[in-house]
C-alpha cells in the first residue's frame, strides 16, 4: 500500500509539473531546421501512440529512447521500417545492432523520400522542364548500456544531411535517454526520460545561393552576389514517461504506457498507449496522442488515435522474426501507414 501511495504522489507531481511547462512551442512551428528528426520510426511504438519510452527496447528505441537498445533479447539485431507519409512522401529506416560486454552499439539510417519536384520560374509557373530531387537523411550511431538490471542509459549521435538543387546543409545532433525499471520496487513499473535533438543551428550554403544582381555600393554593374541564408535551431524536445506491464496468465500479457512530451517547436503532447500480447506471438496495440494547446482553428495534425498489430514468427524458425504494422490517421491528408520487419540472431 505504501508503494502505491508513493506512486500516486509521484504521478500527481508529474501531472502538476506538466501543466506548468507548456513553453509555447506551437508559436515557433515551422521555424526549426531538420523536421525529419521528428518523424517517428518503428510500427510497434507508433501504434501505441508513442507513449512507451520507459520500456521500449531494441532498434526502435534508437528513436524513442536510446537507453532501451541494450535490452534487446538477441545479441545481434536488424530492423527495416517503411512509413507511407503524407503528400506522397515516404520515410525509410534501417538499423543494425550488436551487443558487447561494454554495452550495445547500433548504426541507423533514416531517409525522407520527397520525390521529384518540377522547377518553376516566373516565366514558367508550370515548370521549365527541369526536375530536382531533394535528399534528406540521418545517419546515427548509438551506444546503450544497462548499468544494472533496473537502470539503463543511452546516447545517439546523428549526422543530418539535407540537399536540393545546388544548396545543402549538414549538422550533428545528440539524444540522451534513461530507463529505470521496477520503480518504487513495484515489479514491471518503469520510468523513462529522453532529451532529443540537441545540437548547433543548421544553415544552408552552396552555389544555388549566388544570384545576379547589382550592388548599389559598387560601380561594377551586374555581378554575382551571395544570398545570406539564415540559421535555424534543431527541434529539441524533452519526454517523460511511465509504463506498467501485467502478466495475466501464462499466455496473456497487457502493457500500458503514458508520456508527456515538451516540444520546443510544436505543440506539447500527452501520449497514452496499450499492448496486448498472446503467447508472445500475436500483439494488438492502440494509442492516442493529445495536444492540450491545440485548437479547432490550429489543430495538431497528428492528434488522434493509432492502432496496429504484430506477429512474431520466432517460434517457427531459428531466427527471431517479427512483423509489425501501424495505422496513423492524419488531419487534412490520407492516413499514414507503417510496416516494420525486425530480426534477431
Measured distance CA(60)–CA(230) in Å, rounded: 33
Q: Are 183 and 189 in contact (CB under 8 A)?
A: yes
Q: Which three cell numbers stand for residue 240?
A: 517523460
Give 10-51 pLDDT, tens digit per residue: 444 444 444 444 556 677 777 899 999 999 999 999 999 999
Measured distance CA(146)–CA(71) in Å, rounded: 7
**pLDDT at site 72:** 93
Q: Collapse the DSSP code of 333 into the 3-class scheme (helix H, G, I; strand E, B; otherwise coil) and give the result.
A: coil
Q: 249: buried, middle or exposed (CB in 10 Å: 19+, 13-18, 0-12)?
A: exposed
Measured distance CA(249)–CA(251) in Å, rounded: 6
- CB environment 331-344: b (16+ within 10 A), e (fewer): eeeeebbbebebbb
Residue 87: domain span = 2-344
Query: Is the confidence at residue 127, as pLDDT, over 80?
Result: yes
CATH code at 270?
A: 2.40.160.60
Q: How many separate domains does the chain show? A: 1
Q: Which three cell numbers stand for residue 320?
A: 527471431
What are the E-state strand segments in 165-219?
Answer: 167-181, 189-198, 202-203, 210-214
β-bridge partners, 226 = 210
- Which pTM does this prediction carry? 0.89
**pLDDT at site 238:** 94
Measured distance CA(205)–CA(211) in Å, rounded: 13
User: Model confidence at 1, in pLDDT bands (50, 70, 90)?
Assistant: very low
Give 272-318 pLDDT, tens digit per residue: 999 999 999 999 999 999 999 898 888 899 999 999 999 999 756 77
27 Cβ contact partners less than 8 Å away, ≥ 6 residues apart: none
Give 68-111 pLDDT, tens digit per residue: 999 998 999 999 999 999 888 999 999 999 999 999 999 999 99
- What torsion, rounded to 10 degrees, do the Cα atoms 40, 46, 48, 50 define? 0
Q: What counts of helices (H) and strands (E) characterise the chain?
A: 3, 20
72 Cβ contact partners less than 8 Å away, ≥ 6 residues apart: 57, 58, 59, 97, 99, 104, 344
Amino acid at each position: 500500500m505504501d508503494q502505491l501511495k508513493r506512486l500516486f504522489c509521484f504521478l500527481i507531481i508529474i501531472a502538476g509539473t506538466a501543466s506548468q511547462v507548456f513553453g509555447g512551442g506551437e508559436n515557433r512551428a515551422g521555424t526549426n531546421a531538420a523536421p525529419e528528426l521528428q518523424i517517428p520510426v518503428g510500427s510497434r511504438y507508433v501504434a501505441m501512440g508513442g507513449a512507451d519510452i520507459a520500456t521500449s527496447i531494441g532498434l526502435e528505441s534508437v528513436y524513442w529512447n536510446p537507453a532501451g537498445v541494450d535490452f534487446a533479447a538477441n545479441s545481434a539485431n536488424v530492423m527495416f521500417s517503411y512509413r507511407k507519409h503524407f503528400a506522397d512522401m515516404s520515410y525509410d529506416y534501417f538499423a543494425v545492432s550488436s551487443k558487447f560486454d561494454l554495452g550495445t552499439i547500433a548504426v541507423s539510417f533514416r531517409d525522407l523520400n520527397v520525390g521529384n519536384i518540377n522547377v518553376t520560374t516566373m516565366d514558367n509557373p508550370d515548370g521549365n522542364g527541369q526536375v530536382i530531387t531533394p535528399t534528406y537523411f540521418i545517419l546515427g550511431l548509438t551506444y546503450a548500456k544497462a548499468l544494472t538490471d533496473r537502470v539503463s542509459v543511452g546516447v545517439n549521435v546523428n549526422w543530418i544531411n539535407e540537399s536540393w538543387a545546388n544548396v545543402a546543409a549538414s549538422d550533428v545532433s545528440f539524444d540522451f535517454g534513461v530507463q529505470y525499471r521496477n520503480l518504487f520496487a513495484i515489479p514491471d513499473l518503469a520510468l523513462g526520460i529522453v532529451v532529443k535533438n540537441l545540437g548547433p543551428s543548421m544553415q544552408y550554403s552552396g552555389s544555388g545561393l549566388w544570384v545576379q544582381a547589382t550592388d548599389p555600393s559598387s560601380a561594377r554593374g551586374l555581378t554575382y552576389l551571395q544570398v545570406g541564408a539564415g540559421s535555424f535551431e534543431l527541434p529539441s524536445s524533452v519526454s517523460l514517461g511511465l509504463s506498467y506491464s501485467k502478466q495475466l496468465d501464462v499466455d496473456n500479457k497487457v502493457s500500458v504506457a503514458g508520456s508527456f512530451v515538451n516540444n520546443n517547436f510544436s505543440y506539447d503532447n500527452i501520449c497514452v498507449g496499450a499492448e496486448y500480447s498472446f503467447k508472445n506471438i500475436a500483439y494488438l496495440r492502440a494509442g492516442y496522442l493529445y495536444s492540450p494547446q491545440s485548437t479547432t482553428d490550429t489543430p495538431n495534425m497528428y492528434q488522434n488515435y493509432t492502432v496496429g498489430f504484430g506477429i512474431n514468427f520466432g517460434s517457427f524458425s531459428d531466427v527471431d522474426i517479427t512483423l509489425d504494422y501501424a495505422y496513423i490517421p492524419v488531419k487534412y491528408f490520407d492516413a499514414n501507414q507503417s510496416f516494420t520487419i525486425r530480426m534477431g540472431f
